Chain A
Amino acid sequence: DVKVTQSSRYLVKRTGEKVFLECVQDMDHENMFWYRQDPGLGLRLIYFSYDVKMKEKGDIPEGYSVSREKKERFSLILESASTNQTSMYLCASSLVFWGALKYFGPGTRLTVT
C-alpha cells in the first residue's frame, strides 16, 4: 500500500521560530510537492521537486524554502514563522512529471501564534 506520510498532524509554533515540515514517500517517486490549503483559496503550490537536490518555486514560495537530500524525503522550511503562515500544509508525490496527483499526505495543520 503506497504511502505519503507527514511528520505531524498538528503543530503549534511561535512567531519567529524556524519550522520544519517533513514529508516521506515510500513509492520511489521522482516528483514531490508542497501545497498550502486555506479556506476559500483552495490549494496553492509552494514548491516542488522533480529530483534529489532539485527544486522549483511554485505559486507562493515567499517565506518558505525546501530541502530534498534523499529521494523519499521532501522538507518544507519556514525560516521565520509568521502568523500568516498559519494554514494546512499538504505534501504530494508523483511518479510521472505530467499527470494527476494521486498520492497525498494527511496534511499538517500549522498554527503560528
Chain B
Amino acid sequence: AQTVTQSQPEMSVQEAETVTLSCTYDTSESDYYLFWYKQPPSRQMILVIRQEAYKQQNATENRFSVNFQKAAKSFSLKISDSQLGDAAMYFCAYLGQTSGSRLTFGEGTQLTVNP
C-alpha cells in the first residue's frame, strides 16, 4: 500500500520569505501523480500544484514550485515570497496508476505566515 508522510506538523515563515514543506512517499508503482493541496481556514481544498512521475522537470505554478526527487521518493513544496494568504494547512497527496481517483493524503502541515 502506498503511504505519504509529512514530517512537519507545523511550519512558520515571515512574510516575503521562502518556505519549504516536506513530503515523502512510498510506492512500488512506476506511474503516478503527486499533488499539493492547500486548505485555508475557509476549509475549501484547493489544488496548488501537480507533478507527473515520468516528468523529470519540476512543476512550477507562480510562487509555488516543487522539488521532485523520484529515487528518494521525496516531493517538497517551495513557496516563494510568502504572503499572508498562504497561511493554511497543506496536504501532500499521491495518486497511483491503479488508484482511479483514490488519493492517498499525508497528515498535513499547518503553515503560519507572520507579518
Is B12 among interface residues, defined by CB-CB distance under 8 A?
no
Distance from A36 Cβ to chain B, minimum over Cβ atoms (Å)? 11
- The answer to whether A106 touches B101 (Cβ under 8 A) is no
- The answer to whether A43 touches B105 (Cβ under 8 A) is yes
Which of A35, A42, A106 is in CB contact (< 8 Å) with B108?
A42
Distance from B111 Cβ to chain A, minimum over Cβ atoms (Å)? 15
Question: How many residues of B sit at the interface, in one of the four size bands?
Answer: 20 to 34
A106 and B33 in contact, given A44-B105, A99-B101 (Cβ under 8 angstroms):
no
By a CB distance below 8 angstroms, the chain A residues around B99 are: 98
A50 and chain B: residue at smallest CB distance? B100
- How many CB-defined contacts (below 8 Å) exist between A and B? 59
The interface-forming segment of A68-76, A77-85, A89-97 is: A89-97
A101 and B107 in contact, given A42-B91, A106-B44 (Cβ under 8 angstroms):
no
Question: How many residues of A sit at the interface, in one of the four size bands?
Answer: 20 to 34
A100 and B50 in contact, given A42-B105, A45-B102, A50-B100 (Cβ under 8 angstroms):
yes
Mark each residue of chain B from 43 to 57: 1 if its CB lies under 8 Å from any CB of chain A, else 0. 111010010000000
Is B75 among interface residues, defined by CB-CB distance under 8 A?
no
Measuring CB to CB, which residues of chain B are less than 8 angstroms from any residue of chain A? Answer: 4, 6, 9, 33, 35, 42-45, 47, 50, 91, 95, 97, 99-103, 105-108
Measuring CB to CB, which residues of chain A are less than 8 angstroms from any residue of chain B? Answer: 31, 33, 35, 39-45, 48, 50, 58, 88, 90, 92, 94, 96-102, 104, 106-107
